Amino acid sequence: MDIKLNAKITSTAHYVPERVMTNFELEKLVDTSDEWIRTRTGISQRHIAAENEASSDLSTRVAEQLLKKRGISAEEIDIIIVATVTPDHFAPSTAALVQNNIGASNAWGFDLSGACTGYLYGLETGSKFISCGKYNKVMVIGVDTMSSILDFTDRDTCVLFGDGAGGAILEPTESGAGILDSILHMDGAGGGLLHVPGGGSRMPATIESVNAKQHYIMQDGKKVFRFAVKGMADVSEKIMAQNNLTGDNISLFIPHQANKRIIDAAAKRCNISDNKVLINIDRFGNTTAGTIPIAMNEAIETGRIKDGDTILLAAFGAGFTWGSMLLKWEAP
């Protein structure tokens, strides 16, 4: 009988830039208030990259921590997957920059663009490389330097996002633990509701496109909110149902940190009690592909995840993309 190989997380880490921007600072830039931001989003502050910090720098800090925590050398990494919508460059990939920075001479890899669902896409992709039996150590990083595409005169977007990165190392297990199931979706019909119009082959950078602020993220906030509430709740409910689980069976729910109201709605639909929901949006804002890995590492470091726990992940992002993932935690 064939033994099924699952991918399990054996190391987690995160990094955020030193600079903190509070809501009070944003009050000086746009027509908003600390009270307005907190009551509508749950955000009190976010971290902002320094002028000399890019996504590869944040990712490298995470990669170095992952290796140190696992007690392995960079040469042991087989694949590096970086989920991001704010790469350093179109080419080379951020994954290639990280590979060079840490000296992972035996690794190949690539960037993956799934916006706020990017880290789940990365875990799913990495887990398949593990389960096929060919690779033993896959590094998955979710990172975004959102400040690089924010218009700090647009209060609909600049109050929401922050910069940060997190990641994990995936390795094989035969115990039946690890990544158990996932549901991933995409609907390109919603692409124009949350997007960066300029910078690609459709609209290369010109003086006109820069002056028109086409290289910043833009969104229809109300429509995105409605889609996000339904999408994240639906997919969380579905993955629990198809695995015969209820809210009582979930040890910890780690949702994408976009808006506290979206998180609360998803948790309520799944009957997951508040004490089982990880929320850190108040301190980091929406770091896009960074939210779930940052939250997961915080949960590990504070003892909120223990051996044998059932963990539910869920996300929704530009694309539209959305998905959920179920993990059975196994200590490394």
Token representation of residue 182:
């996932």
Residues contacting residue 190 through CB under 8 Å, at least 6 positions apart: 223, 224, 227, 319, 320
Query: C-alpha angle 108/113/114, rounded to 5°?
Result: 125
DSSP letters along 195-229, please? E--SSSSSS---HHHHHTTTTS-EE-HHHHHHHHH
Out of 256, 259, 270, 297, pick the active-site residue: 256
Total residue count of the chain as it appears in this document: 332
Token representation of residue 81:
């997957």
Count of CB atoms within 10 A of residue 330's CB? 17
Q: 170 — phi, psi (to 5°)?
A: -105, 135
256 an active-site residue?
Answer: yes
**Please, what is the end-to-end C-alpha distance for the chain in angstroms?**
26
Residues contacting residue 122 through CB under 8 Å, at least 6 positions apart: 81, 82, 83, 112, 114, 140, 141, 142, 289
Which of 211, 217, 180 lies closest to 195, judged by CA? 217
Helix/strand/coil percentages in the chain, nearest 5 = 40, 25, 35
Which of 35, 285, 291 lies closest to 158, judged by CA? 285
**Is 55:92 a contact under the CB 8 Å cutoff?**
no
286 an active-site residue?
Answer: yes
Out of 6, 116, 158, 259, pick the active-site residue: 116
DSSP letters along 52-107, please? T--HHHHHHHHHHHHHHHHT--GGG--EEEEE-SS-S-SSS-HHHHHHHHHT-TT-
- List active site positions: 116, 256, 286
